[in-house]
Amino acid sequence: MDTRTRSVETITPATPGVLSVYACGPTVYRYAHVGNLRTFLLTDLLRRTAELLGLQVRLVQNITDVGHLQDDTNLDADGEDKLLAQARLENKDPFAVARFYEDAFHRDLALLNVKPADAYPRASESIDLMLSLIATLVDKGHAYVGEDGTVYFDARSFPGYGAISGNRLEDLRAGHGATGESTATGKRFHADWALWKRASENRAMTWDSPWGHGFPGWHIECSAMSLDLLGETIDVHTGGIDLRFPHHEDERAQSDCAVGHEVVRHWVRGEHLLFEGRKMAKSTGNVVLVSDVVARGFDPLALRLAFLSSRYRQQANLSWDAIAGAQRTLDRWRAAVAAWAEEPSKPMCAEVQQDVLEAFSDDLDTPRALQVLRKLEKSDLPAGAKFETFAWADRLLGLDLVRDVGKAPVPLPAGAAELLASRAAARAAKDFAASDRLRDELAVLGVAVKDTPAGQEWTLS
Ligand code: AMP
Ligand code: ZN
């Protein structure tokens, strides 16, 4: 689901075979709560699906360790940096605080089987990139230096402003709603935002710049790092729904104005997670961490399964009961997979495989994929086939379902699983020409296919 066009769109990479993805990462001033993790999981599901479909995925996720102010709903808040506030609270160096929570973030991702990104650039180590991007925006007339020495983006210079959030400039009034009252005096227009802020000498986390000693705004970091590491066209940009405005709206304006064309092709945002009916946020005090889940005796992957039970674009209401239910399913599936593995080997159920792949490809319809697998679990198909199919599906689910199995699933040559799924779809659509062509392609890979009343079966030749 693309939140700019507000429709479900087919994602075709700009560079054939390679999908570039930029994911807004954590602000590392505290532990990530499970709401944040649901959003990070969205990127992992997208990535696993693309990889299974044969794409190479290039994924970058930033680490925000400077510039994210306490009140990020205000476009130019003079509020305090989240990291500096936390460092004061912990009586530590802000960079020590940042590295501590960054490590914790990586540990949480690993516990949830989220595959690592190719790069995790830190904002504090990308200052030069931001300065050169700001200079480009000033040169092109999209940014100006205010009387207060702060460099502002000129919102009115980007006609496409508002396409993401629906917040049109004419509707954004100073002192109201999302924009808030400007306290800065150097701004020409209330909806302009700071790219670089002047700071006093004794403030921590500041750098020299052509516009004086200061620190970057939050939005410019994502433009600078994504353009640098992924280039001027990015296939998919992910993040939580709350980032739609102002973060993504401003990022789009900066990036597009710098390069002169639309940079991000698809904006995919995860809906918010509620817990026991209330939004999960530090500000409401309703926060659950992975460590809380583990402390109650649950496997962190039960949390992953609980997330898969709802679709990313819908609000999900998580509860301890839901996690307990997911844990029961996880235990049952792992035991079943281990028992099925003991039975004679059988080819995987290509129709089920096709249905699961289709559900994931259909805007990550994970609840439907789980339903398909539950049906397979209860079916009277051979145990060996159930084993192979669940083992294959786990490449998407990431639940360690084969953890307790003594033997490995039969290794299919690379690309064969996808061809089998396509062939099952061709047969279902009675497209026998395509089905024959796919049989030949599979034969080249050393996979012999036979059609039976229960569907196609394969063996390694
Ligand atoms: P932060 O560390 O606050 O910058 O947030 C990291 C990511 O988590 C962002 O993509 C947010 O949009 C997302 N996020 C924040 N709160 C929630 C929530 N309750 N449910 C889902 N995602 C969230
Ligand atoms: Zn971002």
Lowest mean pLDDT among 115-129, 163-177, 262-276, 340-354: 163-177
Tell me: do 304 and 420 sit in the same domain: no
What pLDDT does 175 receive? 44
Tell me: do 251 and 106 sit in the same domain: yes
CATH number, domain of 36, equals 3.40.50.620
Tell me: do 293 and 377 sit in the same domain: yes
- Write out pLDDT tens, residues 368-420: 999 999 999 999 999 999 999 999 999 999 999 998 887 666 777 888 888 88
**Cα(423)–Cα(429) distance, integer angstroms:** 10
The residue to which tokens 């729904």 are assigned: 241
The residue to which tokens 């049989």 are assigned: 439
| Domain membership flag for residue 2 | no
Q: What is the DSSP letter of 157?
A: G
Tell me: do 392 and 447 sit in the same domain: no
- Please say if the pLDDT value at position 178 is more than 50: no
**Cα(111)–Cα(304) distance, integer angstroms:** 9
Query: What does R_g of the chain's alpha carbons equal in angstroms?
Result: 25
| Domain membership flag for residue 9 | no
Length of the chain: 461
- Categorize the per-residue pLDDT at 76 as very low, low, confident or very high, splitting at 50, 70 and 90: very low
Is 67 touching ligand 1 by the criterion CB < 6 Å? no
Domain end point (choices 239, 270, 301): 270
Tell me: do 199 and 346 sit in the same domain: no
Point out the ligand 1 atom lying closest to the alpha carbon of residue 38.
21
User: Best of 27, 242, 248, 276 to mutate for ligand 1, by most ligand atoms within 8 A of CB?
Assistant: 242
Spatial strand order of the sheet with 151-153 comes to 143-145, 151-153, 193-198, 214-216
| Domain membership flag for residue 4 | no
Q: Are 216 and 67 in contact (CB under 8 A)?
A: yes
What pLDDT does 84 receive? 86
Cα 64 to middle of ligand 2, angstroms = 8
Point out the ligand 1 atom lying closest to the alpha carbon of residue 27.
2
Cα 156 to middle of ligand 2, angstroms = 22
Closest CA to 394 of 375, 409, 412, 414: 409
Distance, C-alpha 18 to centroid of its chain: 17
| Domain membership flag for residue 12 | no
Is 106 touching ligand 1 by the criterion CB < 6 Å? no
What pLDDT does 75 receive? 45
What pLDDT does 424 receive? 81
Residue span of the structural domain in which 121 resides: 18-270
Side-chain half-sphere exposure of 222, counting CA atoms within 13 A: 29
What is the distance between the terminal CA atoms of the chain, rounded to a whole angstrom?
Answer: 41
**Cα(400)–Cα(377) distance, integer angstroms:** 17
Cα 24 to middle of ligand 2, angstroms = 4
What CA–CA distances, in Å, run from 190 to 144, 221, 244, 368? 14, 21, 19, 46
Q: Which ligand neighbours the alpha carbon of 238 most closely?
A: 1
Point out the ligand 1 atom lying closest to the alpha carbon of residue 28.
2
Distance, C-alpha 238 to centroid of its chain: 5
Q: What is the pairing mode between strands 264-270 and 273-275? A: unpaired
Domain end point (choices 397, 429, 446): 397
Question: For atom 2 of ligand 1, which residue has the closest CA?
Answer: 26
| Domain membership flag for residue 13 | no
Q: Are 217 and 199 in contact (CB under 8 A)?
A: no
User: Best of 27, 28, 36, 62 to mutate for ligand 1, by most ligand atoms within 8 A of CB?
Assistant: 36
Please compute the mean of the pLDDT values over residues 11-20 and round it to a whole number: 95
**Cα(160)–Cα(142) distance, integer angstroms:** 13
| Domain membership flag for residue 11 | no
Tell me: do 346 and 260 sit in the same domain: no
User: Best of 28, 30, 31, 39 to mutate for ligand 1, by most ligand atoms within 8 A of CB?
Assistant: 39
Q: Which ligand neighbours the alpha carbon of 218 most closely?
A: 2
The dihedral over CA atoms of 66, 69, 72, 74, expressed in degrees to the nearest 10, equals -130
The residue to which tokens 């309703």 are assigned: 286
Point out the ligand 1 atom lying closest to the alpha carbon of residue 64.
4
**Cα(31)–Cα(29) distance, integer angstroms:** 7
Tell me: do 107 and 200 sit in the same domain: yes
Tell me: do 43 and 107 sit in the same domain: yes
Please compute the mean of the pLDDT values over residues 46-74 and round it to a whole number: 88
Cα 369 to middle of ligand 2, angstroms = 30
Is 186 touching ligand 1 by the criterion CB < 6 Å? no
Cα 388 to middle of ligand 1, angstroms = 36
Cα 457 to middle of ligand 2, angstroms = 46
Closest CA to 227 of 200, 195, 192, 254: 254
Tell me: do 149 and 112 sit in the same domain: yes
Q: Are 66 and 196 in contact (CB under 8 A)?
A: no
Tell me: do 191 and 252 sit in the same domain: yes
**Cα(156)–Cα(166) distance, integer angstroms:** 15
| Domain membership flag for residue 5 | no
Cα 272 to middle of ligand 1, angstroms = 8
- Please say if the pLDDT value at position 317 is more than 90: yes
- Categorize the per-residue pLDDT at 443 as very low, low, confident or very high, splitting at 50, 70 and 90: very high
Return the percent helix, strand and coil in the chain, to nearest 5: 45, 15, 40
Q: Which ligand neighbours the alpha carbon of 32 most closely?
A: 1
What CA–CA distances, in Å, run from 166 to 5, 6, 178? 11, 11, 12
Does pTM surpass 0.85?
Answer: yes
Domain end point (choices 225, 243, 270): 270
**Cα(200)–Cα(222) distance, integer angstroms:** 25
Q: Which ligand neighbours the alpha carbon of 280 most closely?
A: 1
Tell me: do 25 and 174 sit in the same domain: yes
**Cα(227)–Cα(254) distance, integer angstroms:** 11
- Please say if the pLDDT value at position 455 is more than 80: no
| Domain membership flag for residue 6 | no
Torsion region of 344: left, alpha or beta (phi above 0 gives left; psi -120 to 50 gives alpha): beta
Total number of domains constituting the chain: 3
Q: CA geometry: angle at 160 spanning 220 and 27, to 5°?
A: 25
Is 456 touching ligand 1 by the criterion CB < 6 Å? no
Is 26 touching ligand 1 by the criterion CB < 6 Å? yes
**Cα(58)–Cα(119) distance, integer angstroms:** 9
Please compute the mean of the pLDDT values over residues 43-71 and round it to a whole number: 93
**Cα(22)–Cα(222) distance, integer angstroms:** 9
Q: Are 122 and 228 in contact (CB under 8 A)?
A: no
Please compute the mean of the pLDDT values over residues 59-78 and round it to a whole number: 76
Please compute the mean of the pLDDT values over residues 117-122 and round it to a whole number: 98
Tell me: do 370 and 427 sit in the same domain: no
Side-chain half-sphere exposure of 343, counting CA atoms within 13 A: 15
What pLDDT does 100 receive? 96
Beta bridge partners of 193: 153
Q: Which ligand neighbours the alpha carbon of 284 most closely?
A: 1
**Cα(223)–Cα(198) distance, integer angstroms:** 20
